[in-house]
Structure 1
């Protein structure tokens, strides 16, 4: 842990740690690159947050927080290692994220997967932000639960129509694409 803290400090990262009060063992680490700190304060409008735990050797949740610039480019805002994917752990991470804004505008939109602990923590810290589900996670869920009931050609037609719906450029076009998809699914008795 000492090596990580020395590295974060020497490279000028904004970082916080949280220890277990009974054992003084570090349980959470939050860190943000200096350039990411500037980007976050400049472009706080949209925030995407997700955690994974299968990709690191310690099998502990790694939280990645991503923002979007005014030119629709993404950038990493911050990262955190947490002990558990619980509301209390996410709450600490998101509070640190908010502290970094230091009276700047807060996010208007927060995109997550359907992790209820994460969604509740976001709601507590940023109550006025719209909360949306990640399109990739929705599409993965649709594939997981529906693909087996389609033939290959029908699945390809459905995926094309779903993608067209998701990429609708206006509310009217969305409604049109939604109706087309609904009609197709109804016609196929799905």
Structure 2
């Protein structure tokens, strides 16, 4: 298992983007001390500041972390599908 195996036992948030022609790349890595709303809120606000000219992502795919889904909904005004 690789879950929480880094030196400081921190959670890793890994953001992957897909652009035209099915090109996939890592756009963001962030170690989180805890998987709490305030931590996700900070990371997603920083991510939001990276988008140019208000062009925002249309879709997010996340695992079943409710706190992450609710934070995405708050920051990017999106809803989720079960």
Fold shared by both chains (TM-score > 0.5): yes
Q: Which runs of 4+ in 1 moved over 3 A?
A: 130-133
- 1:80: which partner in 2? 30
Q: Does the alignment pair 1:63 with 2:3?
A: no
- Secondary structure of the residue aligned to 1:71 is helix
Match of 1:105 among 52, 55, 68: 55
Shift of 1:71: 0.9
Structure 1: distance between partners of 2:8 and 2:81: 30
Shift of 1:53: 4.5
Structure 1 stretches lacking a partner, 5+ long: 1-51, 134-190
Match of 2:67 among 117, 133, 138: 117
Shift of 1:132: 5.0
Higher relative contact order (CA 8 A, sep 6+): 2
Structure 2: distance between partners of 1:118 and 1:53: 17
Highest Rg: 1 or 2?
1
* Paired residue total: 81
RMSD of aligned Cα (Å): 1.8
Match of 2:76 among 115, 123, 126: 126
- Secondary structure of the residue aligned to 1:89 is helix
Shift of 1:58: 1.3
- Secondary structure of the residue aligned to 2:43 is helix
